[in-house]
């Protein structure tokens, strides 16, 4: 294993320190390394807080700032942050309008964020994201929250920035989650530094279809396919589950899992957009890049969100975070 690190014990703290120093105009790091918060708070708005195990960067700390999150709590690699971290973040960024926790659907995250909401002195609620179609909804624990989490954070973040109340934000988040589906494919495993070896074994001519962002098994292990064939399988699974009306506009996201270059991600975007067009769907909004990763895993995920005028406007709204920023 080759990693840029001094030790596995100090890796996360040193990375957070570097992240906060690099983006000190946007974020601040808690002195006890419990959370990253927005440097310029907006008083009177509902505070949005997310978090989860590290190793998925830039999710979640990279999305703290104007138009998205007010704070993010990083756990150890692939390990949920603690309720105490979440409560400390809530106390630091709350302005009296309430707290909305945005939570990926993993048992540890859901349990700890639920406890944190109960422990908060101000009104707090939770929004659970479960966009991964590789997992059946009726399965143990339900579907996983993956790259669609970023879409929810952006759209709900824009509405919060505009002054929406906590009830409206929760309803919006539920709606966006319901309009969003994702599915990924891995070409290699990832290697957690503390483990020092790949999470799973995969042959050089194989790929894992439907892999999870922690290296969880997918739907099936198959021989490597052409890019067009991969895009067809992922888009088919997404559209079959989502059932969008023909002719509607969608947001298409091709997300890298950590070790896939931009050259290949844009090739996959081209393939996925052609698959959508075959099904009468128009990708009127797009995003490509490494946003919800799995350490050094080679692979990508495709996410589709059905848009309407409100969601398109929220997507276009200004955002300024370390990892996502634009002005309209």
What is the C-alpha end-to-end distance of the chain, expressed in Å?
Answer: 43
Q: Of 23, 60, 66, 214, which is the active-site residue?
A: 214
The neighbour count for residue 84, using CB atoms within 10 Å, is 15
The neighbour count for residue 216, using CB atoms within 10 Å, is 17
Residue 44 · residue 95 · CB < 8 Å: yes
Active site residue 214: yes
- Smallest CA-to-CA distance from 150 within 50, 239, 226, 220 is with 50
Q: Of 23, 43, 56, 60, which is the active-site residue?
A: 56
CA dihedral (234, 228, 293, 114) in degrees, to 10, reads: -10
Cis peptide before 58 (omega within 30 of 0): yes
The neighbour count for residue 282, using CB atoms within 10 Å, is 14
Active site residue 266: no
Q: Tell me if residue 9 falls in helix, strand or coil.
A: coil
Q: Which residues are catalytic?
A: 56, 214
């Amino acid at each position: 294993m080759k990693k840029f690190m001094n030790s596995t014990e100090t890796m996360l703290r040193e990375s957070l320190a570097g992240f906060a120093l690099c983006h000190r105009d946007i974020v601040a790091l808690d002195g006890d390394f419990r959370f990253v918060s927005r440097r310029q708070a907006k008083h009177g708005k509902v505070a949005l807080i997310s978090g989860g195990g590290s190793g998925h960067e830039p999710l979640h700390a990279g999305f703290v700032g104007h138009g998205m999150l007010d704070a993010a709590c990083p756990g150890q690699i692939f390990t949920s942050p603690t309720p105490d971290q979440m409560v400390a973040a809530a106390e630091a960024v709350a302005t009296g309008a309430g707290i909305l926790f945005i939570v990926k659907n993993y048992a540890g995250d859901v349990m700890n964020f639920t406890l944190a909401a109960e422990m908060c002195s101000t009104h707090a609620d939770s929004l659970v994201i479960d966009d991964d179609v590789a997992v059946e909804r009726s399965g143990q624990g339900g579907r996983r929250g993956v790259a669609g989490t970023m879409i929810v954070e952006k759209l709900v973040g824009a509405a919060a920035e505009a002054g929406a109340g906590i009830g409206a934000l929760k309803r919006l988040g539920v709606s966006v989650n319901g309009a969003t589906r994702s599915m990924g494919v891995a070409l290699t495993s990832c290697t957690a530094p503390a483990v020092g070896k790949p999470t799973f074994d995969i042959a050089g001519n194989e790929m894992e279809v439907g892999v999870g962002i922690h290296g969880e098994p997918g739907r099936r292990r198959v021989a490597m396919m052409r890019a067009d064939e991969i895009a067809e399988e992922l888009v088919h699974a997404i559209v079959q589950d989502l059932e969008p009306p023909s002719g509607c506009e969608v947001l298409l996201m091709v997300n890298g899992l950590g070790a896939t270059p931009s050259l290949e991600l844009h090739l996959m975007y081209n393939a996925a957009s052609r698959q959508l067009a075959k099904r009468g769907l128009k990708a009127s909004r797009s995003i490509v890049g490494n946003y919800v990763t799995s350490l050094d895993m080679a692979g990508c995920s495709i996410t589709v969100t059905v848009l309407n005028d409100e969601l398109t406007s929220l997507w276009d709204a200004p955002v300024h975070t370390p990892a996502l920023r634009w002005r309209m």
